[in-house]
Amino acid sequence: MGRRRGRRAERRRLSATRPSDGRPPRGRRRPRRATLTAPVFDALSEKLQATLDDVRQRGTLTESDVNAAMREIRLALLEADVNFKVVKSFTNTVKERCLGADVLGQLNPGQQVVGIVHEELVSLLGGESIELEFSPRPPTVILMSGLQGSGKTTAVAKLAKHLKEEKGSSVALAACDVQRPAAVEQLRLVGEQAGATVYDRGTELPAVDVARWALDQAKQDGKDVLIVDTAGRLHVDAELMAELVAIRDAVRPQTVLLTVDAMTGQDAVNVAEQFSAAAGFDGVVMSKLDGDARGGAALSVKAVTGKPILFASTGEKLGDFQVFHPDRMAQRILGM
């Protein structure tokens, strides 16, 4: 809100979204500029442009200018489902940089600020990435975990296909979801499509026993990789989290993966923190990125756990699976 609206409005975080007509908070709309280099940032750039409108005329960038810009950025990130607390610490980082940066000398301060936000997002989303680790003594075991319906079973089959095609690995899958109706049948079908061997015992044995048995089978059959599919579970379900730990301890995976639905909202950090605290995980598969969710969950999960996002799952077909690109994700989160 403009300073004319007084202190009260100024301190409010979300005032800019008050039942509004979608106009920038300054009230004066600048003519649209056609010179933006990154078209996906148009809307945010434009809003920031309006916010930082008279900076260049005044010749000084005050803390209150930066605060106004941060308010827009905060709203954009919240709209993208980035966790509230992550947004807070993120905007603090960006603010420091903006205050230090030579934004004034720039032709377009709004764009400059967006540039800084983008850089910070990329560095936060990316950071140190890891390659899937392969055991010197095969099979390499990969354990898949996540909430109900997040896309684990699909991702297991996609990963099998990916490893088969990219690394020439012989892959087996372990059907350790004995919980959800027809989960075993589903894995059999998608596993077969992926060209992987599926080890299942129906639903006759506890998941941990199936896991142990499948590992023996994979050894006997000389498989390069064993991917273990597990039942969906809630991070607050102590019993099922204990089962996940038991499965992990039974198969000693090289890598534990967490599948996170790109549409997840503010709760993503709870989920990630608690999976991390219970069974731990080494990397994330972001699923359902083929939709139009901005995927702020990715940023949130990365920010609170520090674990890299390894793969993007982008459809229901087994080929819809890519290595994750932090840069694209940053654009997606900011794109308005």
Ligand X SMILES: Nc1nc2c(ncn2[C@@H]2O[C@H](COP(=O)(O)OP(=O)(O)OP(=O)(O)O)[C@@H](O)[C@H]2O)c(=O)[nH]1
Minimum distance from residue 332 beta carbon to another protein (Å): 12
Question: Structure tokens of 266?
Answer: 């503010």
Residue with Cβ nearer another protein (12 or 252): 12
Number of residues that bind another protein (CB under 8 A): 66
Amino acid at 154: T
> Residue 298's CB: how many other CB atoms inside 10 A?
30
- For residue 78, the surrounding DSSP H or E stretch is helix 63-79
The answer to the question of residue 153 lying near ligand X (CB under 6 A) is: yes
Question: Structure tokens of 251?
Answer: 């198969």
Q: Which of 140, 150, 170, 230 binds another protein (CB under 8 A)?
A: 150
Q: What x/- string results for residues 214 through 253 when contact with ligand X is judged by CB under 6 A?
A: ------------------x-x-------------------
What is the rounded CA–CA span in Å between residue 187 and residue 328? 30
Question: Structure tokens of 165?
Answer: 């095609």
Q: Which of 91, 140, 145, 153 binds Mg ion (CB under 5 A)?
A: 153
Q: Which of 26, 118, 162, 288 binds ligand X (CB under 6 A)?
A: 288
Q: What x/- string results for residues 156 through 175 when contact with another protein is judged by CB under 8 A?
A: --------------------
> Residue 242's CB: how many other CB atoms inside 10 A?
13
The answer to the question of residue 190 lying near another protein (CB under 8 A) is: yes
Beta strands in 112-193 (DSSP E): 140-146, 171-176
Residue with Cβ nearer ligand X (20 or 148): 148
What is the rounded CA–CA span in Å between residue 176 and residue 149? 15
Q: Which does 313 bind (CB under 5 to 8 A by kind): another protein, ligand X, Mg ion, none?
A: ligand X
Amino acid at 133: E
Q: Which stretch binds another protein (CB under 8 A): 43-51, 166-174, 222-230, 283-291?
A: 283-291
Overall size of the chain counted in residues: 336
Beta pairing partners, 203: 201
Minimum distance from residue 35 beta carbon to another protein (Å): 29
The answer to the question of residue 182 lying near another protein (CB under 8 A) is: yes
What is the rounded CA–CA span in Å between residue 119 and residue 63? 21
Q: Are the CB atoms for 193 and 186 separated by under 8 Å?
A: no
The answer to the question of residue 265 lying near another protein (CB under 8 A) is: yes
Minimum distance from residue 126 beta carbon to another protein (Å): 12
What is the rounded CA–CA span in Å between residue 78 and residue 64? 21
Amino acid at 165: E
Minimum distance from residue 202 beta carbon to ligand X (Å): 16
The answer to the question of residue 287 lying near ligand X (CB under 6 A) is: yes
Beta strands in 49-159 (DSSP E): 140-146
Minimum distance from residue 177 beta carbon to Mg ion (Å): 5
Binding to another protein, residues 10-29 (CB under 8 A): 11-15, 17-19
Beta pairing partners, 199: 174
Q: Which does 96 bind (CB under 5 to 8 A by kind): Mg ion, another protein, ligand X, none?
A: none
The answer to the question of residue 288 lying near another protein (CB under 8 A) is: yes
Collapse the DSSP code of 178 into the 3-class scheme (helix H, G, I; strand E, B; otherwise coil) and give the result.
Answer: coil
Beta pairing partners, 140: 225
Which residues make up the interface to ligand X (CB under 6 A)? 146, 148-154, 177, 180, 183, 232, 234, 287-288, 290, 313-316, 320
